[in-house]
Homo-oligomer: A and B are copies of this chain.
Amino acid sequence: MAQKGDLLSFRPDIKVLDATIRDGGLVNDFYFSDEFIKALYKVNVKAGVDYMEFGYRADKDMFDVDKFGKWKFCDDDDIRAIVGDNDTDLKISIMADVGRCNYKQDIHPKDESPVDLVRVATYVNTMPAAIDMIEDAHRKGYETTCNIMAISNAKESDILGALDMLGKSPVDGIYIVDSYGSLFPEQIRNISEQYLEIGEKYGKYIGMHAHNNQQLAFANTIEALTNGVSYLDATMKGMGRGAGNCAMELLLGFLKNPKYQLFPVLQFVEKYMVPLEEQGAIWGYDIPYMITGHLNQHPRTAIAATKEQRKDYSSFYMEVVDKD
Contacts and interface: CB of A to CB of B under 8 A. Distances in A.
A215 B215 contact: yes
B226 A186 contact: yes
Interface in A198-238: 212, 214-220, 222-223, 226, 237
The quantity of this chain's copies bound in the complex is 2
Given A270-B314, A287-B249, A314-B270, A218 B218 contact: no
B185 A270 contact: no
A10 interface: no
A214 B250 contact: yes
Given A218-B215, A253-B294, A317 B263 contact: yes
Interface in A256-282: 262-263, 266-267, 269-270, 274
Contacts of A219: 185, 215-216, 218-220
Interface string A1-34: 0010001000000000000000000000000000
Main secondary structure of the interface of A (DSSP, over half): helix
Given A186-B3, A186-B7, A290-B250, A269 B313 contact: yes
Contacts of A312: 270
A211 B98 CA distance: 41
Contacts of A291: 266
B314 A263 contact: yes
Q: Which of A186, A212, A220 has the most CB of B within 10 A?
A: A186
B311 A270 contact: yes
A217 B218 CA distance: 11
Q: Which of A187, A270, A274 has the most CB of B within 10 A?
A: A270
A63 interface: no
Given A216-B218, A249-B290, A184 B7 contact: yes
A247 interface: yes
Contacts of A267: 313-314
Interface of A: 3, 7, 184-187, 212, 214-220, 222-223, 226, 237, 247, 249-250, 253-254, 262-263, 266-267, 269-270, 274, 285, 287, 290-291, 294, 311-314, 317
18 contacts: A7-B186, A184-B222, A185-B185, A185-B222, A214-B218, A214-B250, A214-B253, A215-B215, A215-B217, A215-B250, A216-B219, A237-B287, A250-B290, A253-B294, A267-B314, A269-B287, A274-B311, A285-B285
